[in-house]
């Protein structure tokens, strides 16, 4: 029995012990497991947002312990970077749907809010409750991000709360009954009726500090806000507009959750409405709360979710492997909605630990084998800096940004990089392709050119050229630092040929370093 | 979807500069120039975007003889009966190549939402990423030419400070606007950091080192190779000279005038000439809640001359018939002047101007009442306006794309083209 087979069997056993393998999946063969180096890079990027260091790789490869993968997952989950990495991910989930560009300034407070939760108990229900009931000054209260991203628009807040926390795209029913699902127009507006009393006040001051998210429960709000083009904005109750004549008063809606029957009476204060909405959304009676996050985490970690859309679920959609989905949801709920527990189970599955199959591979078992992903902008940025041996603080890190500043957010090195490489995690992954500015930044930017300059003693390459006189060793070291694996003999051969043909050692290794940082393998998590 | 991975030689052959001999360059450059020349005969569109909402009364719909006119005088144009506000003497001289719509109407009075609306034809919706006009135009024009685009990115946006829309949205990143903060500095990361020959050697090395990855994930590798090929084609292309405004004859630069917006207009023409399908040039500052009557003349002074020069320049080069020039902002401004001498947001009636692209010169569409409040004749909605753009550019606005949630999204949300503009 060779080691790969042994590993596969062990994974199958782990899965079985975890109550994972069901009758359905027992019939499907366990996908072949990826090698250790691939696993470590995958897990490191997923949990702490960077590639493993050469020392971590060597130690992991040399470790004879059969439980080393699980041990690595535990070690990475305990790393403080776990909270930052996933806070940045959920920041993108929320802010890519902003209707107002200025809401980009919510990035930092939102990250701080999310990282705080993730570093503590990582309870997804607490995150949801805080965000649904959020109030306060946005720069101090990252939980107001959904409200700020939609600039207080009642219907848009309802749509986003539903999308992010239940995976149900109820807003498709905003103007008409849903085309394919059961949702009626009335149900969307009943849900929106939980949120009409959220108001954003604007005071003096700069940036986000001048705003405040408040409850507005007293008349005469309507009279205060004069906007002839939006006559109903500012009402204390939500109205479903008359489609035939939008200038007529609409139908006043009572707050009611589309996945239950309880309704609140008209006149209920904002605090009570939102507390109720948060309770209904996060309740264990609402299966979509767990399903949405389980589907999301599975899709991010394995590559495909149980549903085709990462946030387009609902009772009219058929999941793949419903038993597995239910089992994961059961465990997630019994672990008090702990995201760490969820991630731990997913990463222990044979699907997560399998050899990557291309998204373009038509025969690929969807959601049952790992699928390569383009790195998210934050992962790639950290990976580039790590590979080049550059400290983020040294390139003008986050400390330089003004509080609440939109410009600061956009023009910090990381923010600028995110502008070029960022993508909305809600999009189907086959839509995410590289852009010209991305290629130009990696292949042709001056800071990168300087950072791979072998003639300078203070660059990583300059140092390595001096420290490692053996070309093989240096070529291998560069592979370890960029791709987090040893070079194959064929790759060493290509590198040695290049050194010989170039005739200038420093120039040749600059080219090799450049080629590795620009490679398809570098920008993918495979 | 093709799975073939071009071999190393194919990869290099696709680049404008094959092999390492410098003598190859002129031949490859000639080939690329030929492609640009082909594109030149196709259609294109230039959007002059007036961020903030320009006052209709101080631009192309002056209101003389009513207090809401704010005392702004009107001047005659070359077209009888077509009068512009006094701040537009240069544009007035090309009025016979222009059409003005004085009956634009919408309901959206907030900057971000209205900006999105006037860029995509749709209101923002968290579940659909509507493509911006530039991406629609570029992808549709390319589809008419077998998917081919020139060496430069097909959509360019100049002078933008913040993203007004979701970019290419559901059309995919290939059609995303290529953004330049200003026309006068060269675009980011396009000056070669190493000689072209070494750059090509590096690409070759990248491909050889990537063969293991390509063996296991061929599609990902092929997409990556194709992207690097396009980016390399761009930075090594002779068409990159389009970004160098210094190369333009002095008298033409003088004609466009001074300032960032003028530079943007000149760059727009040079880019369209080099095969770019859509260029947006942004002029910010039209949100004149205060001192409208002091600010608008200053703004107009920056836009008037380059706008007129652009129309004349395109005409001289025989490009005007195929190039639609659009002047618009996200809404108009209140007829009533506020106590701070400003005008506030007013989507109920506003204006837009068009030139070229088969639009009949000297046409005036629609009217408001004497007070400039209500549209009384020929209301034109935003979808109508977008349908008009499509009609000008030969694009089928009823074509549907699928959103990521599987919902069909038409290029244009209904609407009927303003046929009077094409008589």
| Euclidean distance between CA atoms B98 and B59, whole angstroms | 14
* Structure confidence at residue B42 (pLDDT): 85
Residues of B in contact with A164 (CB under 8 A): none
Distance from CA of A523 to the nearest CA of B (A): 10
Between strands B350-356 and B323-329, the pairing is antiparallel
**Nearest 5°: CA angle at A288, between A284 and A294?**
100
Instruction: Find how far residue A46's CA is from the centre of its chain.
Output: 10
Residue carrying structure tokens 């005409």? B315
Of B64, B309, B9, nearest to B76 by C-alpha is B64
3-class SS of residue A60? helix
Contact by Cβ (8 Å): B371, B400: no
| Euclidean distance between CA atoms B87 and B73, whole angstroms | 9
* Structure confidence at residue A495 (pLDDT): 98
Buried b (16+ CB within 10 A) or exposed e, B14-47: ebbbbeeeeeebeebbeebbebbeebbebbbbbb
3-class SS of residue B50? strand
Residues of B in contact with A498 (CB under 8 A): 205
pLDDT above 80 for A397: no
Over its C-alpha atoms, chain B yields an Rg (Å, rounded) of 23
Q: Which of A356, A436, A498 sits opposite B231 (nearest CB)?
A: A436
Q: Which of B109, B188, B405 sits opposite A437 (nearest CB)?
A: B188
Instruction: Find how far residue A515's CA is from the centre of its chain.
Output: 28
Q: What is the mean pLDDT of residues A352-381?
A: 90
| Euclidean distance between CA atoms B196 and A23, whole angstroms | 59
**One domain, residues B289 and B259:** yes
Buried b (16+ CB within 10 A) or exposed e, A138-160: bbebbbbbbbbbbbbbbbbbbbb
3-class SS of residue B121? coil
Structure tokens at B415: 């609407």
| Euclidean distance between CA atoms A390 and A404, whole angstroms | 26
* Structure confidence at residue A15 (pLDDT): 54
Structure tokens at A159: 């749509």
Tally of domains within chain B: 2
How many CB atoms lie under 10 A from the CB of residue A241? 18
Domain with residue B103: its CATH number is 3.40.720.10
**One domain, residues B169 and B236:** no
For chain A positions 362-381, those within 8 Å of chain B (CB to CB) are 372
Residue carrying structure tokens 């006189």? A469
Between strands B323-329 and B44-51, the pairing is parallel
Q: Give the tens place of pLDDT for each residue, A242-265.
A: 877 766 788 999 999 998 878 999
A220: preceding bond cis by omega (within 30 degrees): yes
* Structure confidence at residue A405 (pLDDT): 58
**One domain, residues B290 and B274:** yes
> Maximum distance among all alpha carbons in chain B?
77
Greater model confidence, B192 or A3: B192
Burial class (CB in 10 A: 0-12, 13-18, 19+), B400: exposed
Half-sphere exposure of A508 (CA within 13 A, CB side): 17
**One domain, residues B213 and B337:** no
Q: Give residue B110's pLDDT band: very low, low, confident or very high (50, 70, 90).
A: confident
**Nearest 5°: CA angle at B116, between B111 and B120?**
155
Contact by Cβ (8 Å): B168, B132: yes
Residue of chain B minimizing CA distance to A358: B217
**One domain, residues B297 and B265:** yes
DSSP A248-279: S--EE---B-TTS--BPPTT--HHHHHHHHHH
**Do B126 and A101 make contact, defined as CB atoms within 8 angstroms?**
no
**Do A526 and B126 make contact, defined as CB atoms within 8 angstroms?**
no
For chain A positions 89-148, those within 8 Å of chain B (CB to CB) are 97, 99-102
Contact with chain A for residue B124, Cβ under 8 A: yes
For residue B193, being part of any structural domain is answered with no
Q: Give residue A416's pLDDT band: very low, low, confident or very high (50, 70, 90).
A: confident
Residue carrying structure tokens 């008349």? A219
How many CB atoms lie under 10 A from the CB of residue A205? 12
pLDDT above 50 for A433: yes
Buried b (16+ CB within 10 A) or exposed e, B384-395: bbbbbbbbbbeb
Contact with chain A for residue B378, Cβ under 8 A: no
Distance from CA of B207 to the nearest CA of A (A): 8
Residues of A in contact with B178 (CB under 8 A): 436-437
Instruction: Give the mean pLDDT of chain B.
Output: 88
**One domain, residues B166 and B283:** yes
Q: Torsion over CA of A204, A208, A213 and A216, rounded to 10 degrees?
A: 30
Contact with chain A for residue B174, Cβ under 8 A: yes
Q: Give the tens place of pLDDT for each residue, B343-363.
A: 999 999 999 999 999 999 999
| Euclidean distance between CA atoms A281 and B164, whole angstroms | 32
For residue B194, being part of any structural domain is answered with no
Distance from CA of B125 to the nearest CA of A (A): 8
**One domain, residues B101 and B172:** yes
* Structure confidence at residue B162 (pLDDT): 67
Contact with chain B for residue A284, Cβ under 8 A: no
**One domain, residues B88 and B169:** yes
| Euclidean distance between CA atoms B265 and B47, whole angstroms | 10
Residue B338 structural domain: 46-186+251-422
**Do A439 and B202 make contact, defined as CB atoms within 8 angstroms?**
no
Beta-bridged to residue B156, according to DSSP, are B178, B279
Q: Where are the domains of chain A?
A: 10-33+286-374, 35-79, 97-282, 377-525
* Structure confidence at residue A230 (pLDDT): 41
Contact by Cβ (8 Å): B15, B200: yes
| Euclidean distance between CA atoms B328 and B53, whole angstroms | 8
Q: Which of B107, B199, B227 sits opposite A229 (nearest CB)?
A: B107
Instruction: Find how far residue A183's CA is from the centre of its chain.
Output: 27
**Do B3 and A356 make contact, defined as CB atoms within 8 angstroms?**
no
Contact with chain B for residue A317, Cβ under 8 A: no
For chain B positions 225-244, those within 8 Å of chain A (CB to CB) are 225, 227-228, 230-232, 234-235
Greater model confidence, A261 or B15: A261
pLDDT above 80 for A103: yes
Under 8 Å CB-to-CB from A224, ≥6 apart: which residues? A234
Q: Give the tens place of pLDDT for each residue, B81-106.
A: 899 999 999 999 999 999 999 999 99
ipTM for this model: 0.88
| Euclidean distance between CA atoms B220 and A208, whole angstroms | 40
Contact by Cβ (8 Å): B412, B387: yes
Q: What is the mean pLDDT of residues A2-16?
A: 49
Structure tokens at A286: 């609402």
Contact by Cβ (8 Å): B103, B365: yes
Contact with chain A for residue B6, Cβ under 8 A: no
* Structure confidence at residue B26 (pLDDT): 32
Contact with chain B for residue A409, Cβ under 8 A: no
Contact by Cβ (8 Å): A486, A480: yes
Residue carrying structure tokens 């705003």? A211
Q: Give the tens place of pLDDT for each residue, B121-164.
A: 999 886 788 999 999 999 999 987 777 778 999 999 999 766 77
Burial class (CB in 10 A: 0-12, 13-18, 19+), A506: middle
Q: What are phi and psi of A104, to 5 degrees?
A: -60, -25
For residue B162, being part of any structural domain is answered with yes
3-class SS of residue B324? strand
Residue ranges in A49-119 assigned as alpha helix (H):
54-62, 68-77, 81-95, 107-119
Q: Which of B113, B162, B225 sits opposite A99 (nearest CB)?
A: B113
**Do B406 and A101 make contact, defined as CB atoms within 8 angstroms?**
no
Q: Torsion over CA of B255, B260, B261 and B265, rounded to 10 degrees?
A: 60
* Structure confidence at residue A247 (pLDDT): 67
Greater model confidence, A494 or A153: A494
* Structure confidence at residue B41 (pLDDT): 53
Percent of chain A at pLDDT > 90 equals: 68
| Euclidean distance between CA atoms A56 and A422, whole angstroms | 28
Greater model confidence, A352 or A260: A352
Q: What is the mean pLDDT of residues A190-213?
A: 89
Q: For an interface test with A, give the residue of B3, B112, B127 to mutate (most A CBs within 10 A).
A: B127
Under 8 Å CB-to-CB from A380, ≥6 apart: which residues? A417, A421, A523
For chain A positions 29-68, those within 8 Å of chain B (CB to CB) are none
**Do B162 and A97 make contact, defined as CB atoms within 8 angstroms?**
no
pLDDT above 80 for B320: yes
pLDDT above 70 for B243: yes
**One domain, residues B329 and B352:** yes
Q: What is the mean pLDDT of residues A411-418?
A: 86
For residue B221, being part of any structural domain is answered with yes
**Do B405 and A518 make contact, defined as CB atoms within 8 angstroms?**
no
**Do A511 and B198 make contact, defined as CB atoms within 8 angstroms?**
yes
**One domain, residues B55 and B79:** yes
* Structure confidence at residue A127 (pLDDT): 98
Q: Give the tens place of pLDDT for each residue, B17-57.
A: 433 333 333 333 334 444 444 444 589 999 999 999 999 99
For residue B310, being part of any structural domain is answered with yes
Least confident of A373-377, B172-176, B242-246, B298-302: B172-176
* Structure confidence at residue A246 (pLDDT): 66
For residue B153, being part of any structural domain is answered with yes
pLDDT above 80 for A413: yes
Residue of chain A minimizing CA distance to B224: A520
Q: What is the mean pLDDT of residues B329-338?
A: 96
**One domain, residues B318 and B269:** yes
**One domain, residues B218 and B365:** no
Greater model confidence, B268 or A169: B268
Distance from CA of B5 to the nearest CA of A (A): 13
Least confident of A11-20, A30-39, B215-224, B413-422: A11-20
Residue carrying structure tokens 């400003």? B342
Residue of chain B minimizing CA distance to A371: B217
Size of interface A-B (CB pairs under 8 A): 184
Residue A83, phi-psi category: left (phi > 0), alpha (psi -120 to 50), beta (remainder)? alpha
Percent of chain B at pLDDT > 70 equals: 89
C-alpha distances in Å from residue A65, one per residue of A69, A346, A348: 9, 21, 16
Instruction: Find how far residue B20's CA is from the centre of its chain.
Output: 37
* Structure confidence at residue A510 (pLDDT): 98
Secondary structure of A164-224 as H, E, C letters: HHHCCCHHHHCCCCCCCCCCCHHHHHHHHCCCCCEEEEECCCCHHHHEEEEECCCCCHHHH
DSSP B390-407: HHHHT--TT-EEE-TTS-
Q: Give the tens place of pLDDT for each residue, A454-485.
A: 998 889 999 999 999 999 999 999 999 999 99
In which element (H, E) is residue A156 found? helix A154-166
pLDDT above 70 for A22: no
**Nearest 5°: CA angle at B186, between B181 and B187?**
60
Contact by Cβ (8 Å): B393, B406: no
């Amino acid at each position: 029995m060779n080691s790969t087979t042994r590993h596969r069997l062990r994974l199958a056993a782990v899965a079985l012990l975890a109550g994972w393998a069901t009758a359905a999946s027992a019939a499907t063969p366990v996908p072949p497991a990826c090698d250790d180096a691939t696993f470590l890079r995958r897990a490191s990027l997923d949990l702490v947002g960077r590639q493993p260091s050469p020392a971590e790789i060597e130690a992991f490869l040399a470790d004879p312990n059969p439980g080393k993968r699980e041990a690595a997952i535990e070690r990475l989950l305990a790393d403080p970077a776990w909270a930052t990495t996933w806070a940045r991910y959920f920041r993108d989930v929320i802010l890519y749907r902003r209707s107002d560009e200025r809401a980009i300034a919510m990035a930092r407070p939102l990250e701080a809010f999310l990282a705080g939760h993730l570093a503590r108990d990582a309870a997804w229900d607490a995150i949801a409750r805080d965000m649904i009931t959020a109030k306060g000054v946005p720069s101090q209260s990252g939980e107001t991000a959904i409200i700020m991203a939609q600039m207080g628009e009642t219907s848009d807040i309802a749509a986003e709360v539903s999308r992010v926390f239940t995976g149900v795209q109820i807003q498709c029913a905003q103007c008409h009954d849903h085309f394919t699902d059961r949702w009626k127009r009335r149900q969307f507006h009943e849900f929106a009726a939980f949120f009409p009393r959220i108001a954003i006040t604007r005071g003096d001051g700069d940036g986000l500090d001048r705003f405040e998210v408040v409850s507005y429960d007293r008349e005469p709000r309507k009279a205060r806000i004069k906007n002839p083009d939006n006559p109903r904005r500012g009402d204390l109750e939500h109205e479903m507009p008359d489609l035939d004549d939008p200038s007529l008063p609409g139908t006043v809606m009572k707050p009611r959750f589309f996945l239950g029957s309880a309704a609140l009476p008209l006149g209920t204060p904002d605090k009570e409405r939102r507390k109720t909405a948060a309770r209904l959304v996060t309740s264990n009676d609402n299966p979509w709360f767990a399903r949405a996050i389980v589907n999301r985490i599975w899709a991010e970690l394995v590559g495909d979710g149980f549903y085709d859309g990462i946030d387009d679920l609902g009772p009219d959609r058929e999941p793949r492997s419903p038993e597995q989905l239910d089992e994961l949801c059961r465990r997630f709920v019994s672990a008090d909605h702990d995201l760490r527990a969820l991630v731990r189970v997913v990463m222990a599955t044979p699907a997560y630990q399998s050899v990557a199959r291309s998204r373009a591979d038509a025969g690929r078992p969807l959601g049952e084998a790992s699928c390569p992903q383009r790195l998210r902008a934050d992962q790639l940025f950290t990976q580039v800096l790590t590979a080049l041996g550059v400290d983020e603080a040294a390139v003008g890190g986050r400390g330089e940004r003004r509080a609440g500043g939109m410009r600061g957010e956009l023009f910090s090195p990381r923010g600028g990089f995110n502008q070029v490489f960022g993508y909305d995690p809600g999009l189907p992954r086959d839509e995410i392709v590289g852009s010209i500015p991305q290629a130009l930044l990696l292949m042709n930017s001056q800071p990168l050119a300087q950072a791979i300059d072998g003639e300078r003693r203070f660059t990583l390459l300059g140092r390595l050229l001096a420290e490692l006189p053996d070309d093989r060793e240096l070529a291998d070291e560069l592979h370890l630092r960029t791709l987090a694996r040893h070079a194959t003999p064929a790759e060493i051969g290509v590198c040695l040929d290049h050194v010989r043909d170039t005739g200038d050692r420093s120039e040749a290794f600059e080219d090799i370093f450049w080629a590795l940082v620009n490679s398809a393998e570098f920008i993918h998590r495979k | 979807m093709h799975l073939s991975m071009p071999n190393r030689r194919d990869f290099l052959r696709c680049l404008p500069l094959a092999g390492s001999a410098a003598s190859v360059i002129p031949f490859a450059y000639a080939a690329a120039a030929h492609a640009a020349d082909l594109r030149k005969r196709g259609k294109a569109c230039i959007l002059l975007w007036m961020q903030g909402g320009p006052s209709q009364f101080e631009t192309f719909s002056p209101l003389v003889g009513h207090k809401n006119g704010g005392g702004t005088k009107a001047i005659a144009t070359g077209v009888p009966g077509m009068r512009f506000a006094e701040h537009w003497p240069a544009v007035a001289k090309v009025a016979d190549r222009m059409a003005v719509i004085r009956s634009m109407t919408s309901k959206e009075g907030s900057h971000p939402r209205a900006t999105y609306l006037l860029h995509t034809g749709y209101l923002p919706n968290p579940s659909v990423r509507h493509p911006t006009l530039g991406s629609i135009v570029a992808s549709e024009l390319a589809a008419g030419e077998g998917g081919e685009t020139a060496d430069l990115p097909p959509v360019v946006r100049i002078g933008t400070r913040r993203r007004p829309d979701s970019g290419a949205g559901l059309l995919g990143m290939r059609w995303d606007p290529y953004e330049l903060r200003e026309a006068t500095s060269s675009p980011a990361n396009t000056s070669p950091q190493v000689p072209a020959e070494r750059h090509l050697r590096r690409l070759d090395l990248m491909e050889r080192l990537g063969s293991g990855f390509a063996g296991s994930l061929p599609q990902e590798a092929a997409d990556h190779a194709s992207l690097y090929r396009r980016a390399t084609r761009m930075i090594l292309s002779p068409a990159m000279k389009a970004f160098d405004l210094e190369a333009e004859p002095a008298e033409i630069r003088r004609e466009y005038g001074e300032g960032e917006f003028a530079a943007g207009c000149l760059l727009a023409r040079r880019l369209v000439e080099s095969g770019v399908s859509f260029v947006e040039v942004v002029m910010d500052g039209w949100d004149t809640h205060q001192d409208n009557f002091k600010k608008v003349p200053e703004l107009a002074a920056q836009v008037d001359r380059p706008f007129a020069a652009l129309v004349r320049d395109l005409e001289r080069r025989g490009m005007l018939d195929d190039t639609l020039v659009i002047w618009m902002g996200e809404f108009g401004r209140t007829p009533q002047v506020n106590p701070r001498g400003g005008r506030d947001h007013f989507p109920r009636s506003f204006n837009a101007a068009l030139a070229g692209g088969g639009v009949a010169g000297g046409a005036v569409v629609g009217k408001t009442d004497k007070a400039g409040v209500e549209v009384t004749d020929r209301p034109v909605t935003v979808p109508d306006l977008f349908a008009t753009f499509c009609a000008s550019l030969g694009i089928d606005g009823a074509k549907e794309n699928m959103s990521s949630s599987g919902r069909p999204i038409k290029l244009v949300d209904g609407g009927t083209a303003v046929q009077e503009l094409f008589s």
